Amino acid sequence: MRAGVVVAARPGVEDLAVRAEELGLHSFWVNDSPMVHGDPFVALSLCAKATSRIRLGIGVTSPALRSAPAAASGLASLNALAPGRIICGVGTGNTARRTLGMRPTTAARLEGFTVALQDLCAGRSTEYREGDRVRDIRFLHAGAHVNTTDPIEFVVAALLGPKAAAVAGRRGTGLISVGLLDPTAWHALHDTRRHAAQGAPRAPGSPTGSRADSYLITSLHLLDEDEDPHGDAARDATGHLVLSLLAFAADTAADTPAFVGQLGPEEREAVRRLLDRRGTTATAPDRHTKLYPDYLGRISPRDRDLVLPSLMNTLALVGTRDDLLARFATLEQAGVDELLIQPVVDPPTEMALLAKLLT
């Protein structure tokens, strides 16, 4: 299994990219959440100039954030700086939209966006729509300003729902998911993608022979001898993923109660405590401004009690070296090609640990 890293855009991110490349990691990704982190295209431009081998990923952009022409221009510009090293994750914009107080876009719009990006980034014309007006568009200065010759890898963000995996199958892309450590769930995603690919003939100009790898984003904590697997160190290393799930549950409790209904009593109580602690409610129109500050950043010690063992075990990899290697092998057998960690406590040290375990 390959290894990579996901970080937030901020000044100095290129230094982490250089270190990741030195460690032999395969890919370096930057989040695209405009109201939470810096801009990934700016960050990856710096990374592209500072590195020579490591693949560089946007994780992930969405038609609810950027128009297809603007996103394609950014991707093809990065591809000119780092030819053949660019990966573009696309999704419905779940987190990035919710941090604006808005809902994600639809799978249908996601698929249209993916088609347009694939076409434009390969130098083809594509259909572009604004309201009732539809026009064919293409890059007018390909070669001089952008790179549409070297391939860009595309992956679709999918959790447990089949719709995004079906988009990946029809468009010949890979998959990326967060905290999905259940091998059975990965088998289901791959089955959906495979069936969709078989059932949808490719239109002229659709990609053939493109990469279709699967990426899993999680967090990692190697236990010292006799260390508590749910102690402060483990909670600090994994808490950002746990709190991201609790924030999502708190944000959607009123309009998507089915998700909260899947949580156990202790987890629902943690959602309630998070809302109280942030000074908001599940129906407050401005709850997004209270729930998402410091999203996917290092958690405060006062929030360690919200990092429940049940959610740590669901979303993150915590264990001894042998435990972790066994989990890696199981995930690889389930079709995960690359493990991406999202380090927040000590990124250089956490990246070095991942490299030691997997490269």
Are 252 and 335 found together in one domain?
Answer: no
Angle formed at CA 240 by CA 238 and CA 244, multiple of 5 degrees:
125
Are 202 and 102 found together in one domain?
Answer: yes
Are 81 and 123 found together in one domain?
Answer: yes
* Angle at which helices 232-252 and 265-278 cross, to 10°: 80
Are 21 and 105 found together in one domain?
Answer: yes
Are 77 and 185 found together in one domain?
Answer: yes
pLDDT score recorded for residue 205: 47
Query: Would you tell me how many other CB atoms lie within 10 Å of the CB of residue 163?
Result: 16
Pairing label, strands 126-130, 133-137: antiparallel
264 within domain boundaries? yes
Are 217 and 260 found together in one domain?
Answer: no
pLDDT score recorded for residue 312: 97
The CA-atom distances, in angstroms, between 56 and each of 43, 99, 280 are: 10, 24, 37
pLDDT score recorded for residue 210: 60
pLDDT score recorded for residue 104: 92
CATH number for the domain harbouring residue 169: 3.20.20.30
Are 19 and 129 found together in one domain?
Answer: yes
Are 192 and 100 found together in one domain?
Answer: yes
pLDDT score recorded for residue 359: 79
Are 136 and 31 found together in one domain?
Answer: yes
Tell me which residue range forms the domain holding 179. Answer: 2-222+320-358
Nearest Cα to Cα of residue 118 among 172, 46, 82:
172
Are 236 and 173 found together in one domain?
Answer: no
172 within domain boundaries? yes
Are 132 and 8 found together in one domain?
Answer: yes
Number of folded domains in the chain? 2
pLDDT score recorded for residue 201: 62
145 within domain boundaries? yes
Nearest Cα to Cα of residue 72 among 17, 125, 13, 109:
125
Q: Which residue, 277, 293, 313, sits at the end of a domain? A: 313
In order, the DSSP letters of 117-174 are HHHHHTT--EEEEETTEEEEE--SSBTTTB--SS--EEEEE-SS-HHHHHHHHHHT-E
18 within domain boundaries? yes
pLDDT score recorded for residue 160: 65
Are 120 and 215 found together in one domain?
Answer: yes
Averaged pLDDT in 10-residue chunks for the chain of 359 residues:
96 97 98 93 98 97 95 98 98 91 94 97 96 96 90 92 93 96 96 89 52 94 96 98 96 87 95 98 96 94 98 97 97 98 97 94
227 within domain boundaries? no
Rg for the chain, CA atoms, rounded: 20
Residues 190 and 244: their CA atoms lie apart, in Å, by 25
Q: pTM of the prediction?
A: 0.95
15 within domain boundaries? yes
